[in-house]
Amino acid sequence: MLFENSLDFARRMDASDALASFRSRFHIPQHQGKDQVYLCGNSLGLQPKSAKDAIEQELKDWAELGVEGHFKGKNPWMYYHHFLTEKAAKVVGALPEEVVIMNNLTANLHLMMVSFYKPTASRYKIIMEGSAFPSDQYAMETQARFHGLNPDEAIVELKPREGEDTLRTEDILATIEAHKDSLAIVMMGGVNYLTGQAFDMEAITQKAHEVGAKVGFDLAHAAGNLHLKLHEWGPDFAVWCTYKYLNSGPGGTSGVFVHQRHANNPDLVRFAGWWGHDEESRFQMKKGFIPMKGAAGWQLSNAQIFPMAIHKASLDLFDEAGMQNLRAKSESLTAYLYFILAQFSEHLKVISPVNPQDRGCQLSIIVKSDGKRLFDFLESRGILPDWREPNVIRMSPVPMYNSFEDVYRVGEALQAYFNAAKN
Ligand SMILES: *Cc1c(COP(=O)(O)O)cnc(C)c1O
């Protein structure tokens, strides 16, 4: 694709974008009476306009039916997670029985580690990204301690080579090989939150399994961003949140994937609750935990209807748009942003991978001097990327509601900023 740094070009791209109308299904924050250029969908996705009706429906059923909403509501609360499973599974490329929506991300990560991280005297190591999201770092550190291990010995961190910003797949695979006899699990992001790098989950899974280790992915930055094929790639588990690319609201619910090969293994140890118990006999209130088949058997509590109602509304939009179509648009939208940023390469450096296959929609940049000042300038112009200490600006044009014109506007503002700096 040959890009042009012009408003006319950006508008032509938008005019031929089959997904362009989805933008009108979202509330776009306003800046001085105009749509803000919102580039923080990697942090908190925008609100689908349908979210309000979805919440109001449940408030209405609660008001009118009280406890009977569990069975007589429009979407009976008793079975609420069932209403989400199929569409959530499609978004991550899984079978419905491999997916359940429940809890929050970090809680789910711990629940999965309880089942899949079972260190022994000889096999106890966890391989993870060196600059993982802090919650994942704390989770892995305390998982090691929970098993009486010293995190400094148990955790192996993957680091980019000297002078490089992202990890090479060959180095990830070589690290797995180097620890093959002591490795218990590989637990890493699907997309790194800071650099936007997408990892080769299929190759990592294959290699981890080859050496007899388990593998799990935190898909916080991958779900709703990449075209995932979890069932086919075969990791043991995955977890994700729904408030980033999945637009399901602040603190929203989370997703869990457990591969089909574990679906019927009631011996897999887990921390259980009544909602994971066999649905047929759940209300007999008997002793003795019998897990539901598949990922549903990891549920603890009855469904959180309000965050799930928003997620349900949001998943309808993903189903309508199609993850494959979203990803196709995303590749070209982010390539356009890459092209625009490249015009300013004397002032800034893109640390995200150059190859579209190795990244999601996010591009992360380091400005040669005083990045925070540029960030503040962009914000004052109605462009909202995000700032990560000490020096990274992240920009995530998302295919569901961002436009090529949004991306053009970024270049226009950068031009104004660097021109002013010259004078
Ligand atoms: C956003 C994010 C989290 C946040 O965890 P919560 O439990 O949802 O607060 C954790 N890990 C990663 C990799 C993230 O990107």
pLDDT digits (tens, 9 = 90+) for 290-329: 999 999 999 999 999 999 999 999 999 999 999 999 999 9
**Residue among 104, 133, 188 to mutate when testing ligand 1 (max atoms within 8 A of CB):** 133
In this model, does residue 178 exceed pLDDT 80? Answer: yes
- Give me ligand 1 centre to Cα 220, in Å: 6
Q: Is the dihedral of CA 387, 389, 391, 392 positive or negative?
A: negative
**Does the 7-42+323-422 domain belong in CATH 3.90.1150.10?**
yes
- Please list, in sequence order, all residues whose beta carbon lies within 8 angstroms of the beta carbon of residue 124, skipping any fewer than 6 positions away: 147, 149, 154, 182, 184
Distance CA 245, CA 186 (A): 24
pLDDT at position 188? 98
Q: What is the mean pLDDT of the chain?
A: 96
The closest-lying atom of ligand 1 relative to the alpha carbon of residue 254 is: 8
- Give me ligand 1 centre to Cα 327, in Å: 22
Pocket flag, ligand 1, residue 241 (CB < 6 Å) = yes
Distance CA 29, CA 46 (A): 8
pLDDT digits 0-9 by tens, 242-258: 999 999 999 999 999 99
Pocket flag, ligand 1, residue 220 (CB < 6 Å) = yes
In this model, does residue 423 exceed pLDDT 70? Answer: no
3-state helix, strand, coil split of the chain in percent (to 5) is 45, 15, 40
Do you know the residue count of the chain? 423
Distance CA 132, CA 136 (A): 6
- Give me ligand 1 centre to Cα 238, in Å: 13
Distance CA 201, CA 234 (A): 9
Give CATH 3.40.640.10 domain extents, the chain.
53-320
Q: What mean pLDDT is predicted for residues 328-333?
A: 98
pLDDT digits 0-9 by tens, 361-399: 999 999 998 899 999 999 999 999 999 888 899 999 999
Give CATH 3.90.1150.10 domain extents, the chain.
7-42+323-422
Assigned token pair, 334:
């982010």
HSE-up of 300 (CA within 13 Å, CB side)?
A: 12
> Which fold would CATH assign to domain 53-320?
Aspartate Aminotransferase; domain 2 (3.40.640)
Q: Which residues pair with 218 in a beta bridge?
A: 189, 239
- Give me ligand 1 centre to Cα 1, in Å: 34
| φ/ψ bin of 278: left (φ > 0), alpha (ψ from -120 to 50), beta (otherwise) | beta
- Give me ligand 1 centre to Cα 219, in Å: 9
Pocket flag, ligand 1, residue 106 (CB < 6 Å) = yes
- Give me ligand 1 centre to Cα 105, in Å: 6
The closest-lying atom of ligand 1 relative to the alpha carbon of residue 132 is: 13
pLDDT at position 222? 98
- Upstream peptide bond of 385 is cis (omega within 30 degrees of 0): no
Render the burial of 381-392: b for 16+ CB within 10 Å, e for the rest: bbbbbbbeeeeb
Distance CA 46, CA 17 (A): 20
Of all protein residues, the one whose alpha carbon is nearest to atom 13 of ligand 1 is 133
